[in-house]
């Protein structure tokens, strides 16, 4: 979606979050251990084996929020780790079509252009013939699409980029300022819920709203 008054290029560059209104409830006060865990990693299987059968929850397990972006776009956020049922998905609704399923590790995207046939993830990659991954990413993902063992490959790429930045004084793709904004956007959901009002990102970034963060800092003796 291109907001009124912006060109497509301007809308893409004005992507910072401006304000957030959120609600963070505890939907399931008592958690019951499921009968089994479906995870290929030994660490998670061991952690599951050590879990108690039933625990009293002390932290929120759900969050709902609306983000207003600098471009004028609105983002709806719903994450529920309590209650019953399950659904995973992300959707971008725009004037010219819909993108579904982007952003998950090893997931696939689906482009649905208005009035045209759907385009699968594989078709989108094939259409970007002039795009090349950097050498290590191309080695891990030779088809340009996430495959098996995606988690450790992504971690390896992150460590490699970090090492290259230290050794050769290079700029990393996501720097500290961008990381701060990303974390602040999530904390804004909790700060908004505590205050019962919309909060601006400027308030969160400069710590003028700090009720939720203050408890964490106190626990860590910061």
Domain layout of the chain by residue ranges? 8-25+60-219
CA distance 17 to 19: 6
- Residue 172 is given by DSSP the state P
Q: Specify which residues 76 forms β-bridges with.
A: 66
75 near 69, Cβ under 8 Å?
A: yes
Contacts of 209 (CB under 8 A, 6+ apart): 191, 195, 199, 203
* Structural contact between residues 18 and 185, judged by C-beta atoms closer than 8 angstroms: no
Residue 63, beta-bridge partner list: 79
Which residues lie closer than 8 Å to 3 by C-beta, 6 or more apart? 11, 71, 72, 73
Task: State the greatest distance between any 2 C-alpha atoms of the chain, in Å, as a whole number.
Answer: 57
Q: How far apart are CA 181 and CA 20, in angstroms?
A: 13
**Contact of 79 with 63, CB cutoff 8 Å:** yes
Q: Cβ neighbours of residue 166 under 8 Å, at least 6 residues apart?
A: none
User: What pLDDT tens digit does each residue of the chain (222 aa) get?
Assistant: 333 333 443 444 447 899 999 999 998 999 888 888 888 788 889 999 999 999 999 889 999 999 999 988 899 999 988 777 777 788 988 889 999 986 667 788 899 999 999 999 889 888 887 888 889 999 999 888 887 788 889 999 999 999 999 999 998 888 888 899 999 999 999 999 999 999 999 999 999 999 999 999 999 998
For residue 102, the model assigns a pLDDT of 66
* Alpha-carbon torsion, ordered 194, 81, 200, 90, to 10 deg: -160
Nearest alpha-carbon partner for 28 in 48, 54, 52, 57: 57
Query: Cα–Cα distance between 76 and 74 in angstroms, integer?
Result: 7
Q: What pLDDT is stored for residue 147 in this prediction?
A: 76
Give residue for tokens 């046939």: 117
The per-residue pLDDT for 181 is: 92
Yes or no: domain 8-25+60-219 corresponds to CATH 3.10.20.740:
no
């Amino acid at each position: 979606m291109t907001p009124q008054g912006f060109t497509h290029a301007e809308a893409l560059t004005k992507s910072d979050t401006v304000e957030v209104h959120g609600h963070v409830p505890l939907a399931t006060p008592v958690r019951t251990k499921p009968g089994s865990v479906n995870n290929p990693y030994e660490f998670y299987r061991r952690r599951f084996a050590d879990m108690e059968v039933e625990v009293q929850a002390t932290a929120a397990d759900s969050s709902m929020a609306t983000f207003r972006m600098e471009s004028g776009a609105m983002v709806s956020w719903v994450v529920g780790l309590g209650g019953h049922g399950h659904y995973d998905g992300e959707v971008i609704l725009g004037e010219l079509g819909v993108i579904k399923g982007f952003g998950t590790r090893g997931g696939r995207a689906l482009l649905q252009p208005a009035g045209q046939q759907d385009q699968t993830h594989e078709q989108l990659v094939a259409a970007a013939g002039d795009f090349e991954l950097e050498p290590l990413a191309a080695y891990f993902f030779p088809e340009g699409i996430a495959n098996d063992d995606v988690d450790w490959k992504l971690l390896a790429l992150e460590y490699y980029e970090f090492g290259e930045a230290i050794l050769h004084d290079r700029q990393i793709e996501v720097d500290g300022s961008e990381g701060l904004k990303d974390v602040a956007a999530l904390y804004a959901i909790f700060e908004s819920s505590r205050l019962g009002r919309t909060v601006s990102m400027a308030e969160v970034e400069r710590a003028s709203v700090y009720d939720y963060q203050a408890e964490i800092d106190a626990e860590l003796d910061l």
